[in-house]
Amino acid sequence: AEADQVVRLFQDASRARVQRLRLLQAGFFVTALLLLAAGSRLVHGSILAPLRRLERSADRIRSGDLETPVEVDGPLEIDFLAQTFESMRLELANTHRELALWNQTLEEKVRERTQELDALYKVSQEIGARLDRREVLNSITNKAGQLLNAEVAFLCLIDEKQGTLGLQAI
């Protein structure tokens, strides 16, 4: 009987230890889940959310919005990426402005060139239509003055025999 009593005491003590181990395992499991949830929230808040904001900034730049600054806070690496994106946005905005200015300048030059070509075309038509040398020279002088926005225009020709310039039209 005493041996049975001792065996039961050992069994009860073993069961109590097994129960404590199970409680300890459950505690560790719950703690691991809590740490996992906290880590997930930390990763989401400090890495994933800033990366999503950075992605939205990149989408704005891709769609042509070069005026909205890139403002993303996060870990050092993400801050570096955000600064790089901001530098890229500023360079793109400057390039866009330069291209618009070049385009405007080219349009002005094309307009001027078109006026010049139109005036030359008219002169060539008048030369072909008129046979009088004096009228042709006067027409050329007038068109040249218009092209150059001059107040006064002169046309001189070289007299090959005397080697001098002779005024032909004003």
Q: What is the pLDDT of residue 8?
A: 92
Indicate whether 52 pLDDT > 80: yes
What secondary structure does DSSP assign to 107-168, as a single string?
HHHHHHHHHHHHHHHHHHHHHHH---HHHHHHHHHHHHHHHTT-S---EEEEETTTTEEEEE
> What are the angstrom distances between the C-alpha of 166 and each of 72, 133, 148, 150?
76, 14, 22, 21
- The reported pLDDT for the residue numbered 107 is 96
Using a cut of 0.85, tell me whether the model's pTM lies above it. Answer: no
- What are the tens digits of pLDDT across the range 124-165? 887 777 667 888 888 888 888 888 888 999 999 998 888 889
**Helix, strand or coil for residue 155?**
strand
